[in-house]
Amino acid sequence: MQQAEKKQRGRPASSSATSHEQILDAVQAILTEKSVRDLTIEEVARRAGVGKPTIYKWWPSKFALVLDLFERQKIPTVRAPIGATAEEVIRLQVATTIEFLNGFFGKVARELVAEVQSSPDLLREYQERYIMPRRAVSHEVIQKAIASGEFRSDTDPDILIDMIYGPIYYRLLIRYKELDTAYGDTIVTHALSTVKKEKHS
């Protein structure tokens, strides 16, 4: 199933691209009303005005549809502006992530996390297509900070990423308090206090 999905995934060429976008628009419209679990290919086809075979030509499952919707409207990848410190980039990345998760896609993210727990294949795909690419960007920022001396040489990038983003996704999923940029900024301050090199006068 995964090989077929990888072969078909991606924006189709020429006039087919219109139907492709209409289908993803239909998915987004349905998910404003229903959960990922309640989403059906039949309803997507009806809303998009296409046949089910058209959908299955590009996506093997509704989960693949939702992941493609995520990729179309994914959290913007924030890379380092020229001259920015790693701390500045991380704070910008965190603020951007929180703003994204406070909207429609925060709802969908919660539902996706719930759905993948019951399927190792779906969990792997969610990790490969959504989680790992974002971690790779953060990993690159941290490695450069280590090389430049901004962060301590014994900094573990994976642990630092978990320290920063773990609380954000915990609050997103549990929702016991508001997830806002002030909270994200506080997390970054505490996490980076463990890895920043002390400046000596």
H helix count then E strand count, the chain: 11, 0
Low-confidence ranges of the chain (pLDDT < 50): 1-8, 11-15, 201
Q: How far apart are CA 163 and CA 103, in angstroms?
A: 23
Residues 6+ apart with CB under 8 A from 87: 145, 150, 188, 192, 196
pTM: 0.80
Q: Map residue 10 onto helix, strand or coil.
A: coil
pLDDT computed for residue 2 by the predictor = 42
pLDDT computed for residue 4 by the predictor = 40
Cβ pair 112, 127 in contact under 8 A: no
Angle at 42 between CA 41 and CA 47, to 5 degrees: 95
Strand stretches in the chain, DSSP E:
none
pLDDT computed for residue 122 by the predictor = 87
pLDDT of 39-79, one tens digit each?
Answer: 999 999 999 999 999 999 999 889 889 988 887 766 555 56
If you search the block for the tokens 């991606």, which residue do you land on? 10
pLDDT computed for residue 15 by the predictor = 47
- Amino acid present at 200: H
